[in-house]
Amino acid sequence: MSDLRAHLDRLAARPDVATVLLVSDEGLPIAHSGSPSDWEELAALGATLLQRARALGPATGRGPLRLLAAEYAGGMAAVLPGPGETGLVVLAAPGTNAGVLLFDLERQGDALAALI
């Protein structure tokens, strides 16, 4: 677990990332770094979003989910399926270059799988 925590800390230390949270499919926080106001609420919302996004791909013939990003007035949020029954929720810092961050996040799956 300490390697997982260190990995999340490295992601959250990026200037373009504010928060990183690994969630279970049940909506529970597994590990986190950064500072949202409520880890439990973010985990529940992130897991719900992941479940719906995972269902959308096969239902529309698009295949499995790789990454889902949403742009808000205060910054971007991204969710990625993790290994097993987990997912990664990332809140970007305001003003983040979304393309660079999303490219880097897509490569996180293998690294997370090795740590869980």
Specify the pLDDT at position 112. Answer: 65
CA distance 105 to 109: 8
- Cβ(46)–Cβ(79) below 8 Å: yes
Nearest to 84 by CA among 54, 114, 113: 113
Specify the pLDDT at position 8. Answer: 86
- The pLDDT tens digits along the chain (116 residues) read 578 888 888 888 889 999 999 999 999 999 999 877 689 999 999 999 999 999 999 999 999 999 999 999 988 999 999 888 899 999 998 888 888 888 888 877 667 666 66
Pairing of strands 86-92, 17-24: antiparallel
Q: How many DSSP H helices and E strands does the chain contain? A: 4, 5
Specify the pLDDT at position 109. Answer: 63
Specify the pLDDT at position 21. Answer: 93
Specify the pLDDT at position 98. Answer: 87
**CB burial of residue 55 (10 Å; 0-12, 13-18, 19+):** exposed
- Cβ(91)–Cβ(99) below 8 Å: no
Specify the pLDDT at position 45. Answer: 96
> What domains can you pick out in the chain, each with its CATH number?
2-108 (3.30.450.30)
